[in-house]
Amino acid sequence: SYEVTQPPSVSVSPGQTASITCSGDKLGEKYASWYQQKPGQSPVLVIYQDSKRPSGIPERFSGSNSGNTATLTISGTQPMDEADYFCQATDSDTVVFGGGTKLTVL
Amino acid sequence: QVTLKESGPVLVKPAETLTLTCTVSGFSLSNTRMGVSWIRQPPGKALEWLAHIFSNDEKSYSTSLKTRLTISKDTSKSQVVLTMTKMDPVDTATYYCARMSTVTTLYFDLWGQGTLVTVSS
């Protein structure tokens, strides 16, 4: 079955750019989506179809997908962005999530 | 306002069958651009997709769990039901239902609050 892999953790200083990767075989030929989850809360969609932002998601969130890697980029990272981030892809008619990346802003 | 709300037992015994209900409002389960999925998350762990159902009643299941899962919907009641048989302590998790967009690809634009299910004797 298809799998996608994320780094367990990423650290960034406030105001800097954070990049979170999601790797999978020929992932660039599929669409990737990203979800933010803060402690005790439900996940929130922040990027869909590789690079589209839902209404209400700040412009500092952006995404790309090429080759075997999708990337979520947070520009000008703020302390409120500290959270777990999960990538998601679709293979045939099934859905797969990455293992999640804990973003620490310090 | 679009919402999804999960309901069901908070505690089930090993070997029992779990039945969860997702009640949606603000959109119709007959909308061809949408579906509903069930996704779970063990404490401190990653999200795991379980199943989804489309407006035309087409269904898809996680390969590793498909023998234990059944998803169905009642459009008139705006409800999607998931049953999972042979529950085990490793199935302890928060279970979410989520609205799924089916335009171009599948992604989850709205999630319920989740319901924590503990499997223990």
pLDDT in tens, A51-103: 999 999 999 999 999 999 999 999 999 999 999 999 999 988 899 999 999 99
Subunit contact B105:A100, Cβ cutoff 8 A: no
Q: Which amino acid does the sequence have at A48? A: Y
**Cα–Cα–Cα angle for A48, A77, B109, rounded to 5 degrees:** 20
Among B101, B89, B9, residue whose Cα is nearest residue B55: B101
pLDDT in tens, B62-94: 999 999 999 999 999 999 999 999 999 999 999
Subunit contact A97:B49, Cβ cutoff 8 A: yes
Q: Are strands B79-84 and B18-25 parallel, antiparallel or unpaired?
A: antiparallel
B105: pLDDT strictly greater than 90: no
- Chain A interface includes B46 (CB < 8 A): yes
User: How far apart are the two ends of chain A, measured CA to CA in Å?
Assistant: 37
